[in-house]
Every structure is written in C-alpha cells, then in structure tokens.
Structure 1
Amino acid sequence: MSTKTKYKICTKLEKKEFETVQLDGINEKPFDPFKERANLNPTTDCETTIHLLKASLGSGILSMPYAFGCAGLTIGLIATIITAIICTYCSYILVKCAHVLYYKVRVHTMSYVDVAEIAFANGPPSVRKWSKIARYCVMYSLFVTYFGAISCYTVIAGSNFKEVIEEFTKYKMDIRIYIISVLPPLILLGLIPNLKALAPFSAVANILISSGLGITIYYLVFDMHNPWELRQTPKSWSNLPVTFSITVFAMEAIGLMMPLENNMKNPNHFLGICGVLNRGMSIVSMVYILIGFIGYVRYGDKVAENITANLPSDQIAPQVAKVFIGISVLLTYVLQYFVCLEIGWNAVKDYFVKREKIYNSLFRTFLVFISVLIAVIVPKIGPFVSLIGALCFSFLGILFPVIIEIVTYWETTSMTKLILRNFVVIIFGIMALGFGTYTSLLDIAKIYMPNSEIENDSNILFNSTNSIPQ
C-alpha cells in the first residue's frame, strides 16, 4: 500500500492549486525542476550577470559619497563591505530556499511572493496558517519599496534639472516646482502598455546613465584630498544607520532575484561560490565602493546628497552629465513603476470589469500623481532615500529571507543552529530598520520644523546647494 501523505497548500502559483507530496514509493519518477522549464528565450550566465548589474547599478550610486560622508572614510568603507555581504547572502538564501521548495511542491519557477507563501505553507505546523499573511506582507512590501523608489527618482531628476536650469538662467525656484514639472512626461510614459514597448526607452536609459557616470568619475579623480586628512569615523555614531540605509537602498535588488533565476538557461549556475549571483554582486560592490570612496575623498565634508551637485557649475560637461542622469532616471522610473502597477492593478481590477481600459489608464495616472506628490512633500533626497532603505529594504531584503530560510529548513536543520547562523544578519536588519527609520523621520521633521528644538546629530550633514570650492 502506498504511503503517500498529502496536505493542502493555501497558495495559488501560476493560477493553479498545488499540494505538497511526501513519497516513500520507489517507482515515482524523479522530478527535476530545471529540466521541466520551457523558457522560449532563456538567458545565459553572461546575460543574467548583465541583467543583475543593470538591476543593482542604479541612480542610488549617486548617494554613495554622501553615505561615506555620514560614516567617515574608514567606517564607510567597512559599512559598505558589510552591507554588500549581507545583501548578497540574503539574496543567496532566498534562491536557495526556492530550489528546495521546487522539489517539495513539484514546480519549476516561483516569484518572491510564491516562495514566501509556500515556505510558510510547508513550514512548522504552527506557522502554516500564516502563509497567506506572508504572501501579502511580501507583496505589499514590494509595492511600498518600489513606490518609494520611484518617488526618489522624481527628486533626483528634479534636482539635476534644477541645477542645470539655474546655472544658465540664474533664476532660482523651489525644488518642488521642478519635481512637479516632471509630472506630465511621467504620466505619458506611465501610459505605455507593457514592458516590451519600453525596451527602447530602457536602452536609452542605459546609455545615458553610463555616459553621465563616466563624466562624473572624470571630475572625481582630479584634485583629491589626502584620504588620511579626512574624517575616518562618523561625526556622530548616530549617523551610522543612515549610511547603512542609503547603501542598502542603493545596492538591494531582492525583488529581481527570482525573475532572473527563473529565466536562466542553467538556473543551478545562479548559486555557488563562483555563481552568477556572487560574481555579479562582487562587481556591484566594487563599483559602489569606488564611487563612494573617491567621491568623499574628492569633496570631503562638502559632499552633497547627490554627487552631481558637487560637479563644477561653470563647465558644460558636468551640466550635460546632470541632464543625462536626470533623463535616464525618468526612464528608469517607468521600469520600476510597472512593479507597483502590476501589484496595485491586480488588487483592484475586479472592481472595474466594465470599461477596464479607461479605468486602467486612470489608475496609472493616479499612481504617477501620488508618487510625485510624495516627492513634493519630502523633497530632501538624503532622509528620503534613507527612510526607504531602512523601512522597506531592511524588511524585504534582509529580515524576510532569513525568516523564509528558517521555516524552509525546520525539518532538516536545528532551529537553534538556523537562528545562530543568521544572528548577525537579524541584528543588522533590526538595527537598520529601527535606527535608520528613526533618524530618517527626524531629518524629515526638521525640513518642516527647522527652528524647532529637534536636535539630532544624524541630520542632513550637507546641503546639496552648498557652495563647493573647486
């Protein structure tokens, strides 16, 4: 008699109900999730590495010199390395858990949301009832994370355009005016129907951001300070969480790890000591460290929240770089915006069955409008980036992958061993979440209450409109 034991998983994966099946029979055909995949256009290891670099090397790199300024040169270097290791580790264990769950539920692809729900559904009996909650936690965290990111993009674009226009017109206006000015083109871009139609815009964005960063690096490598003459430690240790939060925001790409793995020709090559993930994140980490280090060594305590604000204002090339980066950020906005659109529209589309296309267009416009409104309310990029990094990426990119690993391996590994192995990561995530959120909220409060008694050493160290001696 067969000894099959089944229990229902409360999940929908690719619109199908799955069951966990534990088999003792010897005649069951072995299941290989990687051979079961039927990708029409699978990516090679090299192509996946390129996609990983594209996902991780974004506009957040412009804030890395500021992150070094918050922590000091030596501590900033150490903090960036630690953050890179932890972000890579958490991405690694998320994909590793997915590979285990493939065999448990006999499927060949999963999203981050699916991994979270199925891990809980197959975890200890006491947590199985939380599988739906786990799914919604990850889903809405992804929404908040990417929605916050696109709001940051409008601030970055507006800041770049402001600096260029004011340099040539000598007429100063509030940054909020420039942020509002990007609303019409963003609404039009947001109405583009699908990602395939956005492919040409993505290609243009890559060319522009590469050109802008190239010009920026050119100006950073001249007239650098002696590194040992700069601060090696934070002005105040309460600034350190800001450094971690900004670095996590800039480097984290946890939401794209499963899609990258799902589309690989050889998905088993994604992990491993010399796997695609480790190779790609090593390159990303070195680039971020390089920009942060040379940016702070070049400008010292005059470094701005966005490094392009430090570039010479009386030369054409830096202004061209700012325009390139500003346009590329707007184009990147739309790519990130589609993540929010998919999650948000799937949640409400059942209420708009009639005239779906009209309501879909209105919903797209509404999302763009709200993202710009948030940027207008909080136009200072430093605390805004820090808040998103602390509140969203700390949970989504650090804490939840550890939780998923614990509930995935509960049968095969001692719970005590799992917790001890991830102890440092858990402490790091909690500190980045708690202290980073607290200091960022204080900084945002000081924007609106500059003359209040709020005193906090983790405030914005440097104003992006400072006069920088060249």
Structure 2
Amino acid sequence: MKNAGIIVGPLSLLVLGIMVVHCMGILVKCAHHFCQRMQKPFVDYGDTVMYGLEASPFIWLRTHSLWARHLVRSLLIITQLGFCSVYFLFLADNFKQVAEITSISHRCQQNETTTMTEILPSLNLHLYMVTFLPFLILLVFFHNLLMLAIFSTMGNIAILGSVTLIFSYIMQDIPNPKNLPWSANWQTYMLFFGTAIFSLEGIGMILPLENQMKYPNHYTVILYMVMPISIILYVSLGTLGYMRFGDDIQTSIILNLPNCWLYQSVKILYSIGIFFTYALQFYVPAEIIIPLVISWVPEPWELLVDLSFRAIMVCMTYIFAMLIPEMELVIALLGSASCSVLALIIPPLLEICTYSLDGLSTFTIIKDIFISTLGILGCIMGTYEAFYEIIHQNFFSSSQNSTRAFV
C-alpha cells in the first residue's frame, strides 16, 4: 500500500483481485467449452487459447493460433520460473535474518525490533541459497500433482500460521492514519500494479489442478470461494500494515516485527511455506519443457533426462535469484510484463474469440475490452517503470554505494 496510498491502494487491490478472479473463471469456462467441443478430457491454457483463436471470425487470428499457443506457454514458463526465483530469494533471505541474530528476546515488546547491530558478521546471501539448492532439487523430483498438493497444503498451513502472528502484532496500537497519503504518484502506482498482479496471479495452475480433482465439476465453486478469502487477506494485511508502520514499513513486513522468539518464528514458518509451495509453482514449466525434451531421447534414458532437466531448471531459478538486483522491483517487473498478460489481457479476449460466433451481449464485449485495455496499459506502463527503476538503481546509484534492500 506504500506505493499506492492508504485509500487508493486497498481499493485498487480489491478491484484488481475481482478482475483476476473473473478472468480465471473465463479461462475455466472456455476450457470446458473446448473440452466438450473437441471431445477431450483436458485442455491446458495454451491449447485453450489456440482453439479460441481458431474459433474466431478473423482470418489473421486463425492463421496465428499456433503462435498464440507458443506465446502463452512461453509466458507461463517465464512467470512460473520467475515465481520460483523470487521464492528462492525469500527463502534464503528469511533464514539469513534468523540465523544471524545473536540476541532474541523472550519478551515480545513492541519496541524490540530487529536492528542490523544485533546480527552476526553477515554471510553472503548466495551462500544461503546454495544451501537450499540440493533440497529444492530433491523436492521437484516429486512430479505427481497430488503429492505436490499435499506439500502445498503443508506450506499453506505454515504460511497461515505466520500470517496469524503478523496480524496479532500489527493490530496493536494502530496510529491515526490521517497523515498517510491517500494516493501516490503514477510512477510508484505502476510499481504497485505489478506487485499486486504478481501476488494475485495463479491462473497458470487452475487448469492443471482442476484436471487432477476427483470431482472437477466442483472446481468453479471452490475457486469463487477461496480466491475472495485470499483477496481479503491481501487487502487487510497490506492496509493494516501500512497504517501500523507508515513510511517505515519495510519491503517485507516481516522485517518490521519485534526481535523476539515468537515473531522471529514467523520467518521460519513463512520459509517452510515457501519451501513446500516452490514445487507447485515449478510444476507448470516442468510439464511444458520436460515432455518436449524427453521426446528426443530413447526410452531407457527418459527417467535420467527427466530428473537431470528438473535439476537444471532449479539451478536456473537459483541463477536468476542471484542476478535479482532489487526483489521488489523484479516482482513489479514480472507482474507487469508477464502476469498481467496471462491474468488480465488474454482471458477477456479469449472469451470474445470463443463465443463471438455464438453471440455475445454488448455488456460482455464492453466488459472484456475494458479489462484487457486496463491490463495492456498496466503492462506497458508498469514494465517501463520497473525497467527504469532497475536500470537507475543499478547503473546510476552504484556510484553512491547503494545496497540491496534484502541483504
């Protein structure tokens, strides 16, 4: 909310969340339509877009439907591996914060916050990432989605515990928010747009998860029940956190918690959650890339090639994490450049193409065009602003001895 304002931030996050959930519903509806039409048990995001363009009345779209499928799959790979890289950095950074604290108070008083004078001689963050690298490689060797769902459930329980502790702290002694700005300038708002879409985007996983459900017909109901809860948590946590800490709020609100055993355990719980959900985010790019690679090797080598490429892909996310200059800026860049295309731009246009010959109401067409236009504007402006800030901070601030926000 710091990048958007105390009023505009929560309202924008709520509206974006509603639109993202609506676009998820559009994708599921279109996928069901083509499953019935093509007599197939399952179609993924790329196939749904390809079939949607083939159903379009425009010749140019029909002739480029295969390219659209490749585009969607490429964006899914970039987005999901980007998630994994950010997860890698979050995981290492949280453990770094806990491991290097020398004195943790047993009294969780509000004024006992973590300070940099209370840490051991700092180790390079990359060393912590290398420590987790073999464990993450072993984790992604489990490629059964049911097993990954179990891991993800364990991770979500841990994250829920950490979020509960965060709420218990930030709701204490909230100051009067009248001095906080109600809105921010458009540059910082564009960074907020990318960050918000990054946190809300999960459209790449909805079709694979539905395909593995025992009762797929219940998926839409579950989607519309779970996502509003997530949106409410995002909005309330961001708003209360900004009201509690104001301009002193850190990039990760965990860094604002007191230096005591109870609130330091939040970092451990959060890291456990990130660790187990890493494999679920890894699932989509692995299912796109590895079958293509395996198709080029003899059958006796398939298992070895499968495991080897999974290890290589995890190493790639580690390398990307090492190259991340500012985590908050990369999150904004990934959210604007990739997530917004998958979550806001493509689904509404897909609905128009899919049902154009069947007849669409004027309201539906206007609604879809509005959502896609908003996504396009956010994508262009957010990507530009994130690129500008990354280049500015790395090439123009280096002479001023700028340091990473998370180190």
Matches within 5 A, 1:249-260: 249-260=198-209
- 2:229 and 2:363 map into 1 onto residues whose CA distance is 31
CA shift digits 1:437-470 (9 cap, x unpaired): 112222322442243699xxxx99x9457xxxxx
The answer as to 2:85 corresponding to 1:151 is yes
Q: CA deviation at 1:290?
A: 0.8
SS in 2 for 1:110: coil
SS in 1 for 2:101: helix
The answer as to 2:142 corresponding to 1:192 is yes
CA shift digits 1:276-315 (9 cap, x unpaired): 43333222221111111111111111111111111112x1
Indicate if the aligned counterparts of 2:349 and 2:372 stay in contact, CA closer than 8 A.
no
Aligned equivalent of 1:402: 348
Aligned equivalent of 1:90: 23
Which structure 1 residue ranges, 5 or more long, are not aligned? 1-67, 466-470
Two-structure CA RMSD over aligned residues (Å) = 2.7
Aligned equivalent of 2:280: 335
The answer as to 2:311 corresponding to 1:365 is yes
Matches within 5 A, 1:179-328: 179-192=129-142, 194-198=144-148, 201-234=151-184, 236-262=185-211, 275-313=221-259, 315-328=260-273
CA shift digits 1:324-368 (9 cap, x unpaired): 111221221122112221111122212222522222222111101
Evaluate the alpha carbon distance shift between residue 80 and residue 417 of structure 1 in structure 2; reply closer, same or farther with a 3 A threshold.
Answer: closer
SS in 2 for 1:355: helix
- After TM superposition, the structure 1 stretch with the greater mean CA deviation from structure 2, 213-222 or 173-182, is 173-182
The answer as to 2:295 corresponding to 1:350 is yes
SS in 1 for 2:182: coil
TM-score of the superposed pair, with normalisation by structure 2: 0.87
- 2:18 and 2:147 map into 1 onto residues whose CA distance is 35
Report the structure, 1 or 2, having the larger helix content.
2
- 1:306 and 1:385 map into 2 onto residues whose CA distance is 12
- 2:295 and 2:65 map into 1 onto residues whose CA distance is 23
Percent sequence identity over aligned pairs: 30
Aligned equivalent of 2:63: 129
Indicate if the aligned counterparts of 1:241 and 1:436 stay in contact, CA closer than 8 A.
yes
Aligned equivalent of 2:37: 104
Q: CA deviation at 1:117?
A: 1.6
CA shift digits 1:233-286 (9 cap, x unpaired): 11x321111111111111122123334544567766655xxx443333222221
Indicate if the aligned counterparts of 2:3 and 2:191 stay in contact, CA closer than 8 A.
yes
Structure 1 residue aligned with 2:50, among 88, 92, 117?
117
Q: What is the one-letter code of the residue matched to 1:344? A: I
Q: What is the one-letter code of the residue matched to 1:215? A: L
- 1:222 and 1:418 map into 2 onto residues whose CA distance is 45
Indicate if the aligned counterparts of 2:352 and 2:360 stay in contact, CA closer than 8 A.
no
- 2:297 and 2:213 map into 1 onto residues whose CA distance is 36
Q: What is the one-letter code of the residue matched to 1:243? A: F
Q: How many residues align?
A: 388
Aligned equivalent of 2:108: none
Q: What is the one-letter code of the residue matched to 2:186? A: W
Q: What is the one-letter code of the residue matched to 2:269? A: F
Which structure 2 residue ranges, 5 or more long, are not aligned? 103-118
Structure 2 residue aligned with 1:441, among 387, 398, 403?
387
Structure 2 residue aligned with 1:423, among 354, 369, 382?
369
- 2:169 and 2:396 map into 1 onto residues whose CA distance is 33
CA shift digits 1:85-139 (9 cap, x unpaired): 2102211222232343344334454322221121122222502222211221222
Aligned equivalent of 2:109: none
- After TM superposition, the structure 1 stretch with the greater mean CA deviation from structure 2, 397-406 or 129-138, is 129-138
Evaluate the alpha carbon distance shift between residue 242 and residue 378 of structure 1 in structure 2; reply closer, same or farther with a 3 A threshold.
Answer: same
